[in-house]
Amino acid sequence: MIISCPHCQAKNRVKAERFNDEPTCGGCGKALLTGRPVALTEASFDDVLAASRRPLVVDFWAAWCGPCRGFAPVFEQAAARHPEWLFAKIDTDANPQLSQRLSIRSIPTLAVFRDRRVVDRVSGALPAMQFEQWLGAALR
């Protein structure tokens, strides 16, 4: 899969089996997974889901969606507070087949995956405190 470095924006190819080994950027040498959401695509989603030993929290969104843009800072803050979980964003416009396969009917839709399956999901932007409560309940 390709992960953009959050520090220098270099594109890095990371093999799925190496995803849990704290990958670093080939350009600047800094950590690629820094407590910020990673962008996933149809091509990388299944590999990440299969390889991650951590629960995966996904925000399905689109650039034109006002509630999605408003929720983005809440999602980023949660990712920074919970490095024990993997946070990812999937652009539903750029990945329509994945969105269809996962039955994403409205955005934003938030989903928690553990052991390759959906544990819980909710549609709509949540306030920060409600999002934290939902995460806590979903990841018990």
Write the CATH number for 14: 2.30.30.380
Q: Are strands 38-40 and 56-61 parallel, antiparallel or unpaired?
A: unpaired
> 83 and 50: one domain?
yes
Into how many domains does the chain fold?
2
> 30 and 88: one domain?
no
Distance CA 52, CA 16 (A): 8
pLDDT (0 to 100) of residue 53: 77
Catalytic residue among 8, 25, 28, 65: 65
Catalytic (active site) residue 25 = no
Which DSSP state fits 21? S
Which pair of structure tokens corresponds to residue 20? Answer: 């849990």
Distance CA 131, CA 41 (A): 23
pLDDT (0 to 100) of residue 6: 67
Per-residue model confidence as pLDDT tens digits over 53-112: 788 999 999 999 999 999 999 999 999 988 788 899 999 999 999 999 999 999 999 999
Which DSSP state fits 34? S
| Domain residue limits at 120 | 35-138
Rg (CA), the chain: 14
Per-residue model confidence as pLDDT tens digits over 23-53: 888 999 988 777 789 888 898 898 888 877 7
Give the CA distances from residue 53 to residues 91, 114, 132, in Å, rounded to whole numbers and listed in that order.
23, 8, 21
Catalytic residue among 5, 8, 25, 68: 68
> 123 and 55: one domain?
yes
Q: Are 21 and 61 in contact (CB under 8 A)?
A: no
**101 alpha carbon, distance to own chain's centre:** 17
